Amino acid sequence: MPITSKEISVEVNGHQWSLPAGSTLRDALKVSSAPYRAGTAIGILKKTAEKKTEKITEYAINTSKGEFKIEIETLDSPSGKIWAEHFKEYEGAPVHWTGQEALAFGPFEAELKPERGIRNFEAFDILFGAGGFDSANTHLIISRKRHAAEYGTPDDGVFAKIISGKSVLLKLSRGDSILNIEPIIEWEQLAEKACTADLSTPLEDGASIFTYFEVELSRNSPVGAEHFYALTREGTFNINFVASSFISDDALKGEITPYENFEPRAAGAISFRTIGYGTGRAYISREDRPSSLVHSVVGSVTRGLELVKLAEQGQNLTVESLPPQLILLGHSFDEVEPVLSSIGVELVKEGYTEKDSVIVSQSPATTLEIFGEAKVTAFAVPASKLIEVELYPEKAPKSVDFFRHSLELKTKPVGKLPVSMVYENTYLFKPEKEAVKYKEVMPENSPTNKILAGEIGITNQAAKRMGNIGVKLEDDDLFGPTGEKFSSTNIIGRILQPEKLKGIREGDAIYITEVLRK
């Protein structure tokens, strides 16, 4: 469509559209039918010019055994300046010597002032050293591990770090050499940038709009991918923290994600922290970063990385995942069988198979493994054994978190809850999963006058049976749902159909699904 003076041209997720002058984000969404979840933020970029980065900080070094990248940490230091002015002269430099602690390319002549003395170096440090303290016998030295040594290094010491391709260092030996060195030139866009959820925001001619980002999940990380599906169950990634090199979502913080995939965290890489502070936190890299022993990479952004880079703390972003998650739990065989058949996945039915069946477990447990095997075995129970609960996270946040963690409701739509005891109108449960990371359940939302039939209670740390879960089918003004006094009880929610508990016995199991309050 030709553009008139009364029209503007905008780009929505890479596709051009013409709109009347004065149009807003809402108009762009309407005409483009772009993927978008209500309330999420949209990135807007109005390009006006671009210029070459004045100071180059990253270089790609291609060797006979592969490429690694370095980042200059001290641009204004003597060593940093020597590198910037002479790096092309190091092309062709052979590996002169190697050891467990370091390797060296060279020799070559450089205008540096060697210094005597032992220095400490970290793994992947890069420095100049002078053999025999002679600047005509200079080497480019790369530290392979933390160590102390005397290399005749100038006073400014380490001037760069390896940021990717670290595995190449293990392959290099005498006979290898540097083939070429290329600066990584970034182009800075001088632009008006915005990221907003306000759909009344006016648009200008030439604006680029990003409504969502797309993720391709890695078959090397089937469990981690399932955690990402759980994290983005509502089709959004919620930004709890923003740094120059990443954004993160803390919704699954505390949930252990196994380490499955060791690879560089290139811009757009999605990873979960697997150990230490922040375990379970999801990250999306905004810049290239090296592999990490505490970050398992589960996928990468294949479209819409601009939105990730524009987003701000506290915002939510629309996300779509490839392949889409296969959700069996909570559905009947009749619902899932045609879907699985259409994508060539064989369904093996176990357990209860009548019309009112509800699937409560499956093997393989993850979407990517199901696609890989083209087969899944699903176990179902009667719908009467699936209990819907409404939880009160705003009243008892720690206790609700305990409950969700114990039943794996943070990562699965259905959780199993074994029955440990039944007496009179009281039902007690003990989750199969030990909530090891929770050392105490502090009192919160404890009843004062009475508890109501169907309310779910957890015994708090004021009693010996901390962590027990209970429900009563009748109101009680003396004891809580777990049979404890009120001060030892935390009320975390309610069962929507408590009559479904009638008839269950000790040793049975019920299955729980959470219903969000309307």
Q: Are residues 424 and 379 in the same domain?
A: no
| Cβ-contact 502, 495 below 8 angstroms | no
Number of structural domains the chain divides into:
5
Phi, psi of 487 (to 5 degrees): -65, -20
Does residue 109 lie in a domain region?
Answer: yes
Q: What is the pLDDT of residue 382?
A: 94
Q: What is the pLDDT of residue 337?
A: 96
Q: Are residues 33 and 64 in the same domain?
A: no
Does residue 503 lie in a domain region?
Answer: yes
Does residue 405 lie in a domain region?
Answer: yes
Q: Are residues 173 and 281 in the same domain?
A: no
**In the predicted model, is pLDDT for residue 190 greater than 60?**
no
Q: What is the pLDDT of residue 518?
A: 59
Q: What is the pLDDT of residue 1?
A: 46
Q: Are residues 403 and 418 in the same domain?
A: yes
Q: Are residues 70 and 161 in the same domain?
A: yes
Q: What is the pLDDT of residues 378-408, one digit of tens each?
A: 999 999 999 999 999 999 999 999 999 999 9
Q: Band of the pLDDT at 54, cuts 50, 70, 90?
A: low
Domain endpoint, select from 278, 296, 322: 322
Provide CB contacts within 8 A for 279, sequence distance 6+. 253, 254, 255, 256, 257, 273
Q: Residue 86 sits in a domain of what CATH number?
A: 2.40.100.10
Looking at this protein, which amino acid is placed at residue 84? A
**In the predicted model, is pLDDT for residue 182 greater than 90?**
no
Q: Are residues 348 and 360 in the same domain?
A: yes
Nearest C-alpha neighbor of 147 from the set 124, 131, 163, 114 = 124
**Domain hosting residue 82, numbered range:** 58-183
Q: What is the pLDDT of residues 245-282, one digit of tens each?
A: 899 999 999 888 999 999 888 889 999 999 888 899 99
Q: What is the pLDDT of residue 371?
A: 95
Q: Are residues 156 and 138 in the same domain?
A: yes
Does residue 455 lie in a domain region?
Answer: yes
Q: What is the pLDDT of residues 485-509, one digit of tens each?
A: 999 999 999 999 999 998 899 999 9
**In the predicted model, is pLDDT for residue 53 greater than 60?**
no
Q: Are residues 194 and 45 in the same domain?
A: yes
Q: What is the pLDDT of residues 289-319, one digit of tens each?
A: 888 888 999 999 999 999 999 999 999 999 9
Find the range with the poorest average confidence among 43-47, 452-456, 489-493: 43-47
Does residue 2 lie in a domain region?
Answer: no
Q: What is the pLDDT of residue 516?
A: 81
Opening angle at CA 281, ends 280 and 287, nearest 5: 135
Q: Which residue has the higher pLDDT, 312 or 184?
A: 312
Q: Are residues 480 and 406 in the same domain?
A: yes
Q: What is the average per-residue pLDDT within 88-117?
A: 92
